[in-house]
Amino acid sequence: MRDSLSAFITVFIMATVLIPVVHAETNAARLALGLPPLRPKRLYAGTPVDTARKSKRSLAPLGTQYFCDFSIQPECCDNQVSDGDGGFTYTGCTATSSANNPFTCTDSQYALCANGDTPFFATTFATYQCPITPYTVIACCDPENTNDCVDPILDSGSSSTTSAFYCPNFGQDDDYRFPNCCTDSTYEHCANIATENSVG
């Protein structure tokens, strides 16, 4: 009889302890009992959130003309590929125009002068100026991001910020060929308003 009573009490205590385990509905109740949280009901179903629209880079207007000196064939190339030694090669190149004539390339292409195994970057056919305040700082920019700029090449005898200038592609891993006008030398605020000088 005593054994039966002990067995009954043992079963009753175990049932009392196990009932909350079986019926625990919340992670709080499970954690209070020293159990791990429940498995998520929906895995990989993230809550949708609003995201800001991705900004577009300011593009250069099409139609800027370039030029290759020394009767070298102009080319428009699609890709710049690192050769692993600090240099670059170009692929997807198409001969355009004829030597000693101005030519244009799309914004995403490299305007090159095909000089055998060592092509060099073409230069703007005309010179440009920045005469409109406050955009008086001259610059040469990436045509696909006209706030990514470097200093231009000044026409001979020019020294001020509004003087005539040329833009070649002279960035090793960027394409700084578009003539542009900025408010200061940080090139953060630029406008596509460079004025083309007449070609004499």
* Residues 6 or more apart in contact with residue 192 via CB below 8 angstroms: 58, 60, 61, 146, 180, 181
Q: Which residue has the tokens 């055998």?
A: 116
One domain for residues 71 and 25: no
Q: What is the pLDDT of residues 11-27, one digit of tens each?
A: 555 555 555 444 546 76
Full residue range of the structural domain in which residue 148 is found: 66-196
Q: How confident is the model at residue 37 (pLDDT cuts 50, 70, 90)?
A: low
pLDDT score of 183: 93
Burial zone of 28 (CB within 10 Å; 0-12 exposed, 13-18 middle, 19+ buried): exposed
Res. 31: pLDDT tops 70? no
CA-CA-CA-CA dihedral for 32, 37, 41, 44, to nearest 10: 140
Domain-embedded: residue 53: no
One domain for residues 120 and 189: yes
Domain-embedded: residue 57: no
Report the number of distinct structural domains present in the chain: 2
Report, as an integer, the average pLDDT of 170-185.
76
One domain for residues 79 and 15: no
One domain for residues 81 and 176: yes
Q: For residues 72 and 29, which has the higher predicted lDDT (pLDDT)?
A: 72
One domain for residues 10 and 90: no
Domain-embedded: residue 188: yes
Q: What is the pLDDT of residues 125-143, one digit of tens each?
A: 888 999 899 999 999 988 8
Domain-embedded: residue 42: no
Res. 41: pLDDT tops 50? yes
One domain for residues 20 and 107: no
One domain for residues 75 and 11: no
Res. 46: pLDDT tops 50? no
Beta bridge partners of 77: 93, 110
One domain for residues 76 and 12: no
Res. 120: pLDDT tops 60? yes
Read off the tokens for 198.
């007449």
pLDDT score of 181: 92
Domain-embedded: residue 92: yes
One domain for residues 191 and 103: yes
Res. 52: pLDDT tops 70? no
Domain-embedded: residue 27: yes
